Structure 1
Amino acid sequence: MSLFASPRFLSRVMAADAVSCAATGALQLVFGSVLARWTGLPAPLLLATGVFLLAYAGAAAWMASRALPPRRLIGLVVAGNFAWAIACIGLLAVAGSSIAAPGWAWVLAQALVVLVLAELQWMGLRHTRATGPRPLAA
C-alpha cells in the first residue's frame, strides 16, 4: 500500500491544511496593520483573507476529523487551493510594484504551501479511489 492510499492520509493532509490556514489567518487578523506596513499589502485584504482563512480552517478541521473524509468536498478544496495559488500570482502580477519584498515572500509562501497541499490532496484522492473498496462479485 502506498503512502497516499493510507486510510488516514487525506485526513492528515486536511489537518495540515487546517493548521496552516488557522495560523496564517490568525496572524493576518491579529497583526494585520503591522503586516500591512511590513509587506506593502493592503490591510483590508489581509483582514478579509484572514477571516476567510479562519473559516476555511474550521471546515478543513471538520473534514480531517471524519473517519472517511468527504471526497467531493476535498475535490472542491483541491480546486480552491489551486485557485488561491493562481490568485496569489495574479496579485503579484497586478500590484507587485507596490508590494515590498517581505510581501512578495508572504504571498509566494502562501502560493507554494497551497500548491503542495493541493497536490497531496489530489494524490490522496486518486490513490484512495484506485484502491478503495471493490464491489462484491455476483
Structure 2
Amino acid sequence: MATIASTVRTADDAKLLRFALKQDAIGSGANGVVYLAAAAIFGRLFGLPAGLLYPVGAFLVAFAAALLFLASRPTVSRPAVAVVIAVNIAWVAASVELLVAGWFPLTTLGVALVIAQAVVVAGFVALQITGLRRTAV
C-alpha cells in the first residue's frame, strides 16, 4: 500500500487522533453555542464583555465544524492537524495572557473558566500530538 506523508495511513492508525479531534469539536462547539446563546449572561457571570463572547462563540462553532470534517475524512491531513494544534496552542497562550495582563475585570468564576478551558485545550493538544505521532509514516 502506498502512503502519502501528509496523510494518516489507515483508520486504525488514526483512532486516537480522530478521538482527540472529535472531543475538541464537542468541547469547542458546546462552548461556542453557549457563548452565542447567552453572551450577556455569561459576560456578567464571568466578567467578560458580551461583545467578545459573540465572535469567540462564532469562531468556536466554525472551528468545531472544521474539526468534525477533518476527523471524518478517510485520511486525516497531517498539515491540517498541525494547524489545529497551532490554533489550540494559541488559545492556551491567549488564555494565559488574558489572565496575566488583566484585560478584563474577570470574576472569580471567570478566572476559573479561563484556567479550566486552557487546561482542557492543553489536554487536547497533548492528545492530538500523541495521535499524530502514532500515525507517523
Structure 1 length normalisation: TM-score? 0.86
Specify the alignment match of 1:10 in structure 2: 17
Contact persistence 1:15–1:64 (CA under 8 A): yes
Q: How many percent identity over aligned positions?
A: 36
Deviation per residue, 1:59-101 (Å, 9 max, x gap)? 0000111122111100111111111000011011112671101
Once residues 53 and 104 of structure 1 are traced to their aligned partners in structure 2, the CA distance between those partners, rounded to angstroms, is 19
Given candidates 123, 126, 129, the residue that maps to 1:122 is 129
Contact in 2 for aligned 1:29/1:46 (Cα 8 Å): yes
Alpha-carbon RMSD: 1.4
Tell me the equivalent position of 2:56: 49
* Cα distance in 1 between the residues matched to 2:14 and 2:85: 18
Show the 5 A alignment for 1:52-91.
52-91=59-98
Question: Of the two structures, which has the highest relative contact order with CA contacts closer than 8 Å and spacing of 6 or more?
Answer: 2
- 1:104 and 2:128 correspond: no
TM-score between both structures, scaled by the size of structure 2: 0.86
Report the counterpart of residue 30 of structure 1 in structure 2: 37
The residue identity in structure 1 corresponding to 2:53 is: L
Deviation at 1:119, TM superposition (A): 0.8
* Distance in 2 of aligned mates of 1:49 and 1:55: 10
Counterpart of 2:135 in 1: which secondary structure?
helix
**Could you give the per-residue CA deviations for residues 9-54 of structure 1, whole angstroms, max 9, x where no partner exists?**
2111111111101100011110110000111011111111101000
- Structure 2 residue runs of 5 or longer lacking an equivalent are 1-11
Q: Which has the higher helix share?
A: 1
Structure 1 unaligned residues grouped into runs of 5+: 133-138
SS in 2 for 1:99: coil
Letter in structure 2 aligned against 1:63: L
